[in-house]
């Protein structure tokens, strides 16, 4: 659909309550902040808890000199607590004492720089939180334990006209929904209820890496109140094929940043030219083996294995998918995988076909969805009609769309964009808008030059498309929890 190079809910919760489902009861769990006058500060958040287990997210901030390699140390208050599976650090435990050593990609911490790690743990009789931490031997002191208000007394960061009485509030999309799965034609959360994710796609990382920093991602999670960051990694066009290790690291780092903010991260293997996905089959196997191994312990990663196949048959795309999906499943058996469709992920419509070829010959794998892309000023009633028809038989995710023409340029078509999003909302089809960047094209969310500065929140830095999308994404989510 695109002819030119292309190319993402909440603010970090620093204090307050985090809801969790424990034995069928919604409870409030504490966020503990250990602040040091010098050296370091640590935020330890229990993001989820269940009978005998929990998930903790930890943000480490260096307040001292530049670090090139670090080790965080803390002691569990209860001897029955154990780290069972961790990410973004190498964990060791002796008795109640735990250390988490940096990885190669996050070991460098400048003064006032932060990084996030996390782990799943187990507990026996109680699950109190650590209140003292060290960073390379420097004590992070002065910890406080804020009171934990009941869920009903805390306002949700995203307004909700009629929240479910049992829905945890003050939480991120991932904390509420947990591990997603495909159920029938829907994307469902950990409560087995259909949900819709709404978010933004990056542009090509080789061109717009400066757009994806702490300030812009905080704006996406907090100001935009998004659920999803699509990480768009071009394979050709000065992308992955030129530096596989470097681009893999870029993707991994953005997944970590999305995870810190409680966003779902969609890893997009952005193939466009050539349109035959088999051209990149071995690259795809190598890439997805690496990223799925890295993120297997996370519950917020979605894999999009080919962006816009074109000029090839559905059977070719299906063949590709059935070779790549097992590579992901070997490391991450539970993650949702999205398969591109014929005709630039148009369900075949842009090449004179339709979704019948997919419905009659589905990919031989479970927990998968099918991609659909549109550009509102170019693709209108006949495309919408095909999505409406296909959605009754196929789980669909709109992994990319624009408010303008398929070139990425031209004026915003608000009428067609509204018709599209109203339909997607009604059908509970998730979406990622192209593009969370300051590219000089109509589809960009930010005005040109924005990514050279530090201001991303609010409307003054947004284009017409950005303002339209921000207003749509900020409306209340419907995340059923019962």
Q: Given the residues 260, 304, 386, 400, select the one marked as catalytic.
A: 400
Give how far Cα 10 sits from Cα of 173, 186, 220, 223, 333, Å. Answer: 8, 24, 8, 7, 28
Decide: 176 and 479 in contact? Cβ < 8 Å: yes
User: Which tokens in the block code for residue 217?
Assistant: 């991602």
Crossing angle for the helix pair 281-295 and 314-331, nearest 10 degrees? 30
- Running DSSP on this structure, what letter comes out for residue 144? B
Active site residue 304: no
Decide: 115 and 109 in contact? Cβ < 8 Å: yes
Q: Given the residues 256, 304, 308, 441, select the one marked as catalytic.
A: 308
Q: How many CB atoms sit inside 10 A of residue 151's CB?
A: 22
State the Cα–Cα distance between residues 172 and 17, nearest whole angstrom: 12
DSSP secondary structure string for all residues of 203-269: --HHHHGGG-SHHHHHIIIIIS--SEEEEEEESSSSSGGG-HHHHHHHHHHHHHHHHHTT-EEEEEE
Active site residue 256: no
Nearest of 397, 289, 283, 251 to residue 337 by alpha carbon: 397
Compute the chain's Rg from CA coordinates.
Answer: 22
As annotated, the active-site residues are 308, 400
């Amino acid at each position: 659909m695109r002819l030119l190079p292309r190319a993402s809910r909440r603010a970090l919760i620093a204090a307050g309550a985090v809801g969790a489902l424990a034995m069928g009861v919604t409870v409030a769990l504490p966020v503990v902040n250990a602040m040091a006058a010098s050296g370091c500060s640590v935020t330890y958040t229990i993001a989820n808890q269940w009978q005998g287990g929990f998930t903790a997210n930890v943000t480490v901030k260096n307040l001292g000199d530049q670090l090139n390699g670090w080790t965080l140390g803390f002691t569990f208050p209860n001897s029955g607590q154990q780290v069972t599976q961790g990410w973004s650090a190498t964990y060791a435990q002796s008795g109640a004492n735990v250390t988490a050593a940096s990885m190669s990609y996050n070991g460098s911490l400048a003064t006032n720089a932060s990084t996030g790690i996390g782990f799943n743990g187990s507990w026996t009789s109680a699950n109190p939180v650590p209140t003292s931490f060290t960073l390379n031997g420097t004590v992070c002191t002065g910890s406080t334990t804020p009171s934990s208000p009941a869920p009903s007394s805390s306002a949700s960061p995203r307004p909700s006209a009629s929240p479910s009485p049992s829905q945890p509030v003050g939480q991120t999309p991932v904390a509420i929904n947990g591990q997603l799965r495909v159920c029938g034609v829907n994307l469902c959360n950990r409560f087995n209820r259909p949900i819709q994710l709404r978010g933004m796609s990056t542009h090509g990382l080789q061109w717009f890496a400066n757009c994806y920093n702490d300030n812009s991602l905080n704006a996406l999670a907090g100001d935009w109140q998004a659920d999803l960051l699509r990480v768009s990694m071009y394979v050709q066009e000065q992308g992955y094929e030129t530096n596989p290790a470097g681009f893999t690291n870029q993707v991994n780092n953005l997944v970590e940043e999305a995870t810190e903010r409680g966003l779902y991260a969609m890893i997009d293997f952005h193939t466009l030219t050539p349109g035959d996905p088999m051209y990149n089959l071995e690259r795809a196997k190598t890439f997805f083996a690496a990223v799925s191994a890295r993120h297997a312990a996370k519950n917020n990663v979605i894999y999009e294995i080919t962006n816009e196949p074109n000029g090839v048959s559905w059977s070719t795309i299906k063949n590709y998918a059935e070779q790549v999906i097992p590579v992901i499943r070997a490391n991450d058996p539970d993650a949702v995988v999205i398969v591109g469709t014929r005709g630039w992920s148009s369900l075949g419509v842009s090449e004179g076909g339709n979704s019948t070829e997919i419905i009659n010959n589905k990919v031989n794998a479970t927990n998968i969805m099918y991609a659909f892309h549109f550009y509102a000023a170019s693709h209108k009633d006949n495309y919408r009609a095909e999505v409406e028809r296909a959605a009754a038989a196929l789980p669909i995710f709109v992994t990319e769309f624009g408010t303008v023409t398929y070139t990425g340029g031209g004026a915003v078509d608000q009428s067609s964009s509204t018709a599209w999003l109203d339909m997607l909302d009604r059908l509970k089809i998730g979406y990622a808008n192209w593009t969370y960047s300051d590219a000089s094209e109509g589809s960009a969310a930010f005005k040109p030059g924005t990514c050279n500065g530090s201001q991303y929140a609010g409307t003054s830095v947004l284009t017409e498309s950005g303002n339209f999308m921000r207003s749509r994404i900020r409306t209340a989510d419907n995340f059923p929890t019962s």
